[in-house]
C-alpha cells in the first residue's frame, strides 16, 4: 500500500503534518458525526505563519486554523510506497466534505456553537457539504466541494520517478462556500430615495443560501424589541410569517447561486443575485434598486475540510529464475501481492481547519452600503462609487 509522507515541519513548509495533540478530541467528535473512518494527518497550506509566529511544530504544536480567503500557494501531498517492491501508478486527491469544526468546552471566545440540527442547516449540509464515502472521486467539479480550491492530480507523473512517489497538489482559496449562513437584508420604499417605486408599500428581501425571500407589506413590520422582522424564523429555520415568499429559480442550483465562492465578487457584491438586487439602474438618472441594506454575518467560527487521497499501486516482482515453472509461480505470487496492495488501505484522509475571515465580508458590506438608496436623502446627486 502507499502511505503519506508525514512532515513534522509541514506547519511552515506546507504539506501533510502529524495530528496535533490539541486536535485529537475535536477529531473524535468530528468522526462520530461525519463517519470518516480515520484521519492520518493535518494539511498545512504552504507558507503558514506557524514558525514566524513562534509556534512549536510537531505533535505538541497548536497551529491556528487556516484563514478563509487567504491564498493557498501550490501545496503538495506526497504518497510513497510502503514496501520495497511496491510502486505507485497514480494518485487521486479530492476535497470530500465540509463540517463545522467541533469546539472544546474550554475554547476561548464568546461565539456559540453553530446549530447544525436545524432542518434548514441539515438539508444544506446533507446536500452540499459532500460525502466521505470510499469512492475515489466526488461528484463536484475538479474533485473539490469548495469551488475556490484547485486540486491537481499527479503533478509529477509517477513514471518519471519510477513509481517511488505520487504527488498531488492543492491551491486556490477556501471560500465562504462553507460559511453559508450569512444574509443580506434589503428594505425598499419611496422614502429611502426610491421615488420611482410604483406603490407606497414596503418591500423586504432576505438574500441567503436558499434563495431570495421577499415580503411586501403596506406597513413596515417590526418585532417587539423594535428590530425589523427579518430573522423571525421557525424551529426549522424558515420564516414564520407566511407573508414571506421565496423566489423560485426553476432548474437552478440555489446554493451555488447564493453562496459567496468567487474571490473577485466576494469583496464587491458577493454574488450575481445580490448584485442584481442592489445595483443602480444604468440610465441618465440612475436609480437605486435597494433602499436600506443591512447584514447578518456568519455565525460559524471554524469549519474543517476533509481531504482524501487514494493511490493505485502495483508490486514489481523480484528477478525470477529462468525455469518456466518457477517463473510462473513467482509471477502468480506477485499478482497476489499486487491484489493485496491494492485492496489494503490505499485511501487516506487529512483535515484542514479554516477560520472565518471577516475582512472580505467587511469590504463587501462597505461596497453594498454605498449602494443604499437612503444615501440620496442627504444628497440628491449621490451616486455609489464604482
- Any idea where the domains of the chain sit in the sequence? 2-179+301-355, 183-296+362-377
Say what the pLDDT of residue 158 is: 66
For residue 134, give the DSSP letter.
S
pTM of the model: 0.86
- Cell 443575485, located at residue: 273
Lowest mean pLDDT among 53-62, 136-145, 147-156, 209-218: 53-62
E strand map for 153-226 = 166-173, 183-188, 202-208, 211-217
- Cell 437584508, located at residue: 185
- Sheet containing strand 149-152, edge to edge, reads 2-4, 71-81, 166-173, 149-152
Task: Give the Å distances, CA to CA, from 326 to 84, 323, 330.
Answer: 21, 5, 6
222: pLDDT confidence band, cut at 50, 70 and 90? confident
**What percentage of residues in the chain have a pLDDT greater than 70?**
82
253: pLDDT confidence band, cut at 50, 70 and 90? confident
Yes or no: say if 43 and 33 are a contact pair by the CB < 8 Å rule: no
Yes or no: say if 246 and 212 are a contact pair by the CB < 8 Å rule: yes
Give the integer Cα–Cα distance in Å for 307 and 354: 13
**What percentage of residues in the chain have a pLDDT greater than 90?**
52
User: 79 pairs with which residues across the strands?
Assistant: 4, 166
Yes or no: say if 92 and 136 are a contact pair by the CB < 8 Å rule: yes
| C-alpha cell recorded at residue 364 | 463587501
Which whole number is the average pLDDT over 88-105? 88
Which whole number is the average pLDDT over 140-161? 84
| C-alpha cell recorded at residue 85 | 517492491
Residues of the chain by 3-state class (helix, strand, coil), percent to 5:
25, 25, 50
Task: Give the Å distances, CA to CA, from 163 to 80, 190, 314, 348, 349.
Answer: 8, 69, 9, 18, 21
Give the integer Cα–Cα distance in Å for 268 and 275: 9
User: 86 pairs with which residues across the strands?
Assistant: 315
Yes or no: say if 143 and 95 are a contact pair by the CB < 8 Å rule: yes
Give the integer Cα–Cα distance in Å for 272 and 287: 19
Phi, psi of 285 (to 5 degrees): -120, 90
Task: Give the Å distances, CA to CA, from 190 to 206, 230, 271, 287, 369.
Answer: 19, 20, 26, 11, 18
Say what the pLDDT of residue 341 is: 45
Residue 113 has pLDDT above 80, yes or no: no
For residue 233, give the DSSP letter.
B
Is the four-CA dihedral 64, 68, 73, 74 of positive or negative sign? Answer: positive
| C-alpha cell recorded at residue 278 | 442592489
Local structure of 329: helix, strand or coil = helix
- Give the chain's end-to-end CA distance (angstroms, integer): 56
Amino acid at each position: 500500500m502507499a502511505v503519506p509522507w508525514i512532515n513534522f515541519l509541514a506547519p511552515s513548509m506546507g504539506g501533510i503534518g502529524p495530528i496535533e495533540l490539541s486536535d485529537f478530541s475535536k477529531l473524535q467528535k468530528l468522526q462520530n458525526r461525519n463517519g470518516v473512518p480515520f484521519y492520518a494527518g493535518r494539511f498545512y497550506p504552504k507558507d503558514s505563519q506557524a514558525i514566524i509566529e513562534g509556534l512549536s511544530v510537531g505533535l505538541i504544536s497548536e497551529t491556528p486554523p487556516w484563514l478563509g480567503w487567504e491564498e493557498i500557494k501550490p501545496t503538495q501531498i506526497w504518497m510513497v510506497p510502503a514496501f520495497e517492491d511496491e510502486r505507485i501508478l497514480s494518485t487521486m486527491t479530492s476535497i470530500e466534505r465540509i463540517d463545522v469544526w467541533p469546539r472544546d468546552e474550554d475554547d476561548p471566545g464568546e461565539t456559540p456553537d453553530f446549530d447544525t440540527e436545524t432542518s434548514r442547516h441539515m438539508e444544506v449540509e446533507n446536500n452540499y457539504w459532500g460525502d466521505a464515502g470510499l469512492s475515489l472521486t466526488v461528484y463536484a467539479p475538479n474533485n473539490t466541494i469548495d469551488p475556490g480550491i484547485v486540486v491537481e492530480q499527479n503533478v509529477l507523473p509517477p513514471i518519471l520517478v519510477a513509481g517511488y512517489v505520487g504527488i498531488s497538489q492543492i491551491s486556490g482559496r477556501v471560500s465562504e462556500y462553507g460559511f453559508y449562513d450569512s444574509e443580506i437584508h434589503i428594505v425598499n420604499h419611496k422614502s429611502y430615495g426610491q421615488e420611482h417605486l410604483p406603490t407606497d408599500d414596503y418591500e423586504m428581501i432576505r438574500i441567503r443560501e436558499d434563495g431570495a425571500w421577499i415580503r411586501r407589506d403596506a406597513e413596515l413590520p417590526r418585532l417587539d424589541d423594535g428590530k425589523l422582522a427579518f430573522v423571525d424564523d421557525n424551529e426549522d429555520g424558515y420564516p414564520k410569517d407566511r407573508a414571506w415568499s421565496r423566489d423560485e429559480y426553476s432548474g437552478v442550483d440555489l446554493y451555488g447561486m447564493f453562496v459567496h465562492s468567487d474571490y473577485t465578487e466576494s469583496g464587491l457584491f458577493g454574488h450575481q443575485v445580490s448584485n442584481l438586487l442592489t445595483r443602480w439602474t444604468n440610465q441618465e438618472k440612475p436609480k437605486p434598486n435597494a433602499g436600506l441594506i443591512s447584514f447578518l454575518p456568519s455565525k460559524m467560527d471554524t469549519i474543517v475540510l476533509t481531504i482524501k487521497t487514494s493511490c493505485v499501486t502495483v508490486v514489481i516482482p523480484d528477478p525470477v529464475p529462468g525455469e518456466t515453472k518457477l517463473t510462473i509461480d513467482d509471477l502468480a505470487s506477485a499478482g497476489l501481492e499486487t491484489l493485496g496492495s491494492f485492496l489494503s488501505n490505499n485511501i487516506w484522509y487529512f483535515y484542514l481547519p479554516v477560520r472565518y475571515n471577516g475582512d472580505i465580508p467587511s469590504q463587501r458590506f462597505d461596497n453594498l452600503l454605498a449602494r443604499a438608496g437612503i444615501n440620496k436623502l442627504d444628497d440628491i446627486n449621490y451616486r455609489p462609487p464604482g
